C-alpha cells in the first residue's frame, strides 16, 4: 500500500495549502507549485482508481444529481428575532436585563453575571449546516424549515474554505454558517460569463441549490461559520470559546466579531458597520447581537421561533426589485444619448425610487434587459448617482422589447452608434446639447453669474 501513503501525504499537503489560501488568506505556495502537486494526486488517483474521502479532487463537482435528499438537523436551526430600528434593539436589550434579573431573584445562590454581547455581521447568502462525523464531513444541508433541510453535500464540497475533515473527531457535530459569493469573485465571473449574475446572494443560493455541482464549483463560493448547533459531548462556556473551537477546527470565521460589556458600545459599533458595509467584499444585510455567556443563554431560552439571547439588526436594503415600466432617451452635452428607466415606485434605503440609470445600449444588452419592459428587475442604490438596474429577476425574455431610437429624441437627427453608445452628431442644432454646453462652460469658468441657470442658458441659446 505504498501508493496510499503517498496519496495521504499529498492530500495532507494540498489541504494544508488550501486552508492557508482560502480560509486564512495567507498563501504558502504559488499556484504553480500547488498545481504540480494537485496533478500528481490526480494521476495517482487515476492510476489506482482510489479516491480518499478528504481528497481535494472531490471539490471540482461530480455528476449531475437527481435531487436533494432531505437532511434532518441534529438540533433545530433557529431563526432570529429581528430589530428594524434602534428602539426595537433597546427593547430587546431591556428584556434580556429583565429576564436576567428575574432569574437572579429566583436563584439567589446561583446568580447569572451581567450580560456581555458579541456583535457579528449578518451575511446575505444561504445558510449552511455542516455535519461532521468522527472528523469527516458527511453531510451539508440548507436550513429548510429549521428541522429538515435539503442535502447539498456535493455542492458544498466545492467551497474550498470548507474543510472536508476536521481535527475534532469525537462523534457528531453540526456547525452553521453562510455560503456566500464574494463581490470581487462575482465581478470576475461576470467578465467572461455568457449570462452575467445580477446579485451575489442569488448567485450563491442558486449555485448551492443547483443539481450540477460543477456549476457550483464555477462560482467559486466562500463560507463563514458562526455556530456549533449540535455536538455529542462538547460544551462551551461562552461565545468566544465556541468561535475558537471553530477556528481550531479550520472552519472559516469572519474577522469582524466584536465583544462588548456595555450595550451602548454595541450601538456605536453597529453604526460603524453600517457605514462601512459598502467596503466589504461580500453582502451583509445587517448585524447580529448575541449574549455571550452560555449560562445566560440557557436561562433566557427560546420562544417557539427564536432564541431570546440573540437578535438580528437589519440594515436598510441596498438592493430591491421593482418593475421596469418605460425607458426614455436623453441627450447629453457631448451628444451622447442616455437611457433613463422609469420604474414602479419602490422604497430603497428610505428613498422612493422612480428613476434608474441604464447607462447605455451596450449595458442593456449585457444585462439581458432588451426584453425586460414590464418585468421585474433588480435595482441597487448607489451613493453618487440614481440607482442602477442590475438585471432581470427571471432569465426568460418575457417582457416587451426596449426599442432603441434611430433619431435624436430632441432634434430628430439620425443617431450614430459608437461602441456601446448612441450619439446625436447635430452639434450646432440640437438644443439640449447647446444648453448643456453653455451651462458646462459657465460652471467651469466660474462665471460671475450666480443665477446662471438652465433657463438663462436656453434663452441665450435662442438669442
Ligand atoms: Zn439631437
Q: What is the predicted ipTM?
A: 0.98
357 CA distance to ligand 1 middle (Å): 20
The C-alpha torsion from 270 through 274 and 279 to 280, rounded to 10°, is: 70
| CB count in 10 Å sphere of residue 50 | 13
215 Cα: distance to centroid of ligand 1 (angstroms): 46
Q: What per-residue confidence (pLDDT) applies to 233? A: 86
CATH number for 2-57: choose from 3.40.640.10, 3.90.1150.10, 1.10.287.610, 3.40.50.300. 1.10.287.610
For residue 439, the SS3 value is helix
Question: Rounded to whole angstroms, how far apart are CA atoms 277 and 183?
Answer: 12
Grid coordinates of 461 = 441659446
**Nearest CA to 333 among 455, 459, 439?**
439
pLDDT score for 382: 67
Tell me how far apart the alpha carbons of residues 325 and 329 are, in angstroms, rounded to a whole number. 14
* Ligand 1 mean position, distance from CA 432 (Å): 7
Residues sharing a CB contact under 8 Å with residue 202, sequence separation 6 or more, in sequence order:
none
How big is the CA angle at 168 (ends 298 and 254), to the nearest 5 degrees?
70
Name the residue ranges covered by the structural domains of the chain: 2-57, 81-314, 319-424, 431-462
Phi/psi for 29 (5° steps) reads -135, 165
Give me ligand 1 centre to Cα 331, in Å. 7
pLDDT in tens, the chain (463 residues): 688 899 999 999 999 999 999 999 888 999 899 999 999 999 999 999 999 988 999 888 777 888 899 999 999 999 999 998 889 999 999 999 999 999 999 999 999 999 999 999 999 999 999 999 999 999 999 999 999 999 999 999 999 999 999 999 999 999 999 999 999 999 999 888 877 887 898 899 999 999 999 999 999 999 999 999 999 989 999 999 999 999 999 999 999 999 999 999 999 999 899 888 888 999 998 999 999 999 999 999 999 889 999 999 988 777 889 999 999 999 988 899 999 999 999 988 778 899 998 889 998 988 889 999 999 999 987 655 688 898 888 878 789 999 999 999 999 999 999 999 999 999 899 998 988 888 777 665 544 444 445 555 555 444 4
pLDDT of res. 363: 87
81-314: CATH number: 3.30.470.30
- Measured between alpha carbons, how far is 139 from 132 in angstroms, rounded to an integer? 7
pLDDT for the residue 462:
45
CA distance 25 to 258: 20
CA–centroid distance, 408 to ligand 1, in Å, is 5
CATH 2.40.50.140 fits 319-424, yes or no: yes
* Predicted local distance difference test score (pLDDT) of residue 73: 96
> What's the Rg (C-alpha) of the chain?
28
Cα separation, 68 vs 334, whole angstroms: 55
The neighbour count for residue 81, using CB atoms within 10 Å, is: 18
Output the CA 334–ligand 1 centroid distance in Å: 10
Q: Which residues are catalytic?
A: 122
Q: Which residues make beta-bridge pairs with 259?
A: 118
- Ligand 1 centroid distance, CA of 436 (Å): 12
Let me know: does 251 contact 269? Beta carbons within 8 Å.
Answer: no
Amino acid at each position: 500500500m505504498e501508493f496510499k501513503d503517498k496519496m495521504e501525504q499529498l492530500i495532507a499537503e494540498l489541504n494544508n495549502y488550501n486552508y492557508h489560501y482560502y480560509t486564512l488568506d495567507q498563501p504558502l505556495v504559488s499556484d504553480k507549485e500547488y498545481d504540480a502537486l494537485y496533478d500528481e494526486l490526480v494521476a495517482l488517483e487515476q492510476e489506482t482508481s482510489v479516491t480518499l474521502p478528504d481528497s481535494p479532487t472531490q471539490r471540482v463537482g461530480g455528476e449531475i444529481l437527481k435531487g436533494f435528499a432531505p437532511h434532518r438537523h441534529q438540533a433545530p436551526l433557529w431563526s432570529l428575532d429581528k430589530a428594524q430600528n434602534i428602539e426595537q434593539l433597546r427593547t430587546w436589550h431591556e428584556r434580556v436585563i429583565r429576564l436576567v434579573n428575574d432569574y437572579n431573584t429566583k436563584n439567589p445562590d446561583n446568580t447569572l453575571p451581567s450580560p456581555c454581547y458579541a456583535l457579528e455581521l449578518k451575511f446575505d447568502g444561504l445558510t449552511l449546516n455542516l455535519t461532521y462525523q468522527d472528523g469527516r464531513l458527511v453531510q451539508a444541508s440548507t436550513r429548510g424549515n429549521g428541522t429538515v433541510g435539503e442535502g447539498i453535500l456535493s455542492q458544498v464540497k466545492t467551497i474550498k474554505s470548507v474543510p472536508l475533515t476536521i481535527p475534532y473527531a469525537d462523534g457528531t457535530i453540526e456547525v452553521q454558517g453562510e455560503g456566500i459569493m464574494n463581490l470581487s469573485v462575482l465581478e470576475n465571473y461576470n467578465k467572461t460569463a455568457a449570462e452575467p449574475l445580477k446579485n451575489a446572494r442569488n448567485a450563491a443560493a442558486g449555485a448551492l441549490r443547483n443539481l450540477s455541482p460543477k456549476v457550483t464549483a464555477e462560482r467559486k463560493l466562500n463560507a463563514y461559520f458562526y455556530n456549533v448547533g449540535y455536538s455529542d459531548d462538547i460544551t462551551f462556556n461562552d461565545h468566544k470559546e465556541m468561535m475558537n473551537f471553530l477556528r481550531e477546527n479550520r472552519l472559516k470565521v469572519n474577522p469582524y466579531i466584536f465583544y462588548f460589556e456595555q450595550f451602548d458600545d454595541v450601538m456605536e459599533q453597529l453604526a460603524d458597520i453600517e457605514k462601512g458595509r459598502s467596503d466589504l467584499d461580500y453582502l451583509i444585510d445587517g448585524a447580529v447581537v448575541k449574549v455571550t455567556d452560555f449560562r445566560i443563554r440557557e436561562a433566557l431560552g427560546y420562544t417557539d421561533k427564536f432564541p431570546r439571547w440573540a437578535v438580528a439588526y437589519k440594515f436598510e436594503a441596498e438592493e430591491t426589485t421593482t418593475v421596469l415600466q418605460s425607458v426614455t432617451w436623453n441627450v447629453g452635452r457631448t451628444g451622447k444619448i442616455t437611457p433613463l428607466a422609469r420604474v414602479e415606485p419602490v422604497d430603497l434605503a428610505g428613498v422612493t425610487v422612480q428613476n434608474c440609470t441604464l447607462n447605455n445600449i451596450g449595458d442593456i444588452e449585457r444585462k439581458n434587459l432588451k426584453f425586460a419592459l414590464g418585468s421585474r428587475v433588480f435595482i441597487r442604490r448607489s451613493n453618487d448617482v440614481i440607482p442602477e438596474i442590475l438585471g432581470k429577476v427571471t432569465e426568460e425574455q418575457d417582457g416587451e422589447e426596449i426599442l432603441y431610437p434611430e433619431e435624436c429624441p430632441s432634434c430628430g437627427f439620425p443617431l450614430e452608434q459608437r461602441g456601446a453608445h448612441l450619439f446625436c452628431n447635430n452639434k450646432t442644432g440640437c438644443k439640449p446639447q447647446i444648453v448643456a454646453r453653455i451651462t458646462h462652460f459657465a460652471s467651469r469658468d466660474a462665471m460671475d453669474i450666480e443665477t446662471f441657470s438652465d433657463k438663462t442658458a436656453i434663452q441665450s441659446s435662442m438669442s
